[in-house]
Amino acid sequence: MSKLISATLIATTVLLTSANNLDMTLAETCASRCGPRPIQFTPGQYIRLEVVNRTYNVLKLEKAPGTPPIPLEPGQELQVDQGDSLQPNLSVIFWNDKGWPLKAIISKPNFGTLRVEIRPGRTNPGDRSIYILNDGRVNVL
């Protein structure tokens, strides 16, 4: 009989405690709060990168460290193809000579294209590079 009373007291305590903290005990899905899915490509997939200058200044882009920078005029678009199999990752560094912050807006218009629109940023230092990782994820740094 004492075991039945103890079990009843424990069950009542658990129910009352969980009723008081209902919002903490219930799990919710993120279906309405997740935001857009991150852009990702299939590892090893050939990727074309389109970079568009949406600022009012000339931007400079560098495909690989040590290569001469490529000037990109306002409104101009540049296509960068993925390197050979010896350099599977695709990355681009961009900046303007005035040091103003930049914002990179990425989209995937089709299966094998990553489109990057570079716009004026609001916070320093802003975005400075796009890097496609080995696993297909896209990082804006």
Domain positions in the chain are 48-140
C-beta of residue 54 within 8 angstroms of C-beta of residue 127: no
Bridge partners (DSSP) of residue 49 are 80, 114
pLDDT at 42: 85
d(CA 51, CA 94): 10
pLDDT at 12: 67
Tokens coding 59: 């931007």
pLDDT at 4: 59
Close Cβ partners of 25 (under 8 Å, ≥ 6 residues apart)? 18
3-state helix, strand, coil in the chain (%, to 5): 15, 35, 45
d(CA 3, CA 93): 70
pLDDT at 38: 84
| pLDDT < 70 stretches in the chain | 1-33, 83-88
pLDDT at 57: 93
pLDDT at 66: 79
pLDDT at 84: 47
d(CA 89, CA 108): 17
